[in-house]
A = this chain, B = another copy of it.
Amino acid sequence: MQDTKENILMVSLELFSQRGFSAVSIRDICKEVNIKESSIYYHFQNKRAILEELLQRFQSTANSMMNQLDSALNDMGCSPDTLSHDMIENCFFDRYLMDDFCNKVIRLLLIEQLDNKEAQEIYDLWLFAKPLAFQSKVFSMLMEIKMIKPADSGYMAEKYYAPIFLFAQRWLFCGPLTDARKRSFRAAIDRHLHKFFEEIMEEY
């Protein structure tokens, strides 16, 4: 079956996310997967192909997450009460930043982006451009349905997202992703979101 290929991918991701692509050897991967080094070349053309497949998968995962967020947002536009923004956020937090697979790929991108054009683009897209664009759209919509008062939605998105990004960097993308760290992150986020929405809604 394709069990072995899957194992290779998961082990590779684990190691890549810890040490970076180039610091992980085929030997390291195979030792963990429990196959001989030559066997890996039955499943992948070369070492880089493993990385490529991981990035591919990440992008489709992230895309589907983003699509789901988008449609949830549209639903909210029609019937503001059916879907809380809590649900929206949880999607981004639980199934993206804190999701085992995505979290590891993001760590990997953090390293690779410094020297790899492709990684750089993916990194910028999925850690800056997409989240900021989405959040900007959220605030525009909230303004439209008059839940918050009109303002620069791009700037609001930055104010909203920057602390999330900072907390993520500090708690989620360094060291092992333990439950304790997840809780620290969650706590910081909750505090931030609470105050943030308090502020933007206080006048209404």
Count this chain's copies in the assembly.
Answer: 4
CA distance A169 to B113 in the complex (A): 11
B111 contacts A107, CB within 8 Å?
no
Q: What does DSSP make chain A's interface, helix, strand, loop or mixed?
A: helix
Give A1-41 as 1s and 0s: 1 = Cβ < 8 Å from B's Cβ atoms: 00000000000000001111011000000000000000000
Q: Per-residue CB proximity of A139-160 to B under 8 Å, as 1/0?
A: 0000000000000000100110
* B-chain residues with CB within 8 Å of residue A159 when the two chains form the complex: 159, 163
* Minimum C-beta distance from A172 to chain B (A): 12
A-B complex: 4 closest residue pairs judged by Cβ atoms: A162-B162, A162-B163, A22-B23, A162-B166
**A→B interface (CB under 8 Å):** 17-20, 22-23, 107, 110-111, 113-115, 120, 123-124, 128, 155, 158-159, 161-163, 165-166, 169-170, 174-175, 191-192, 195
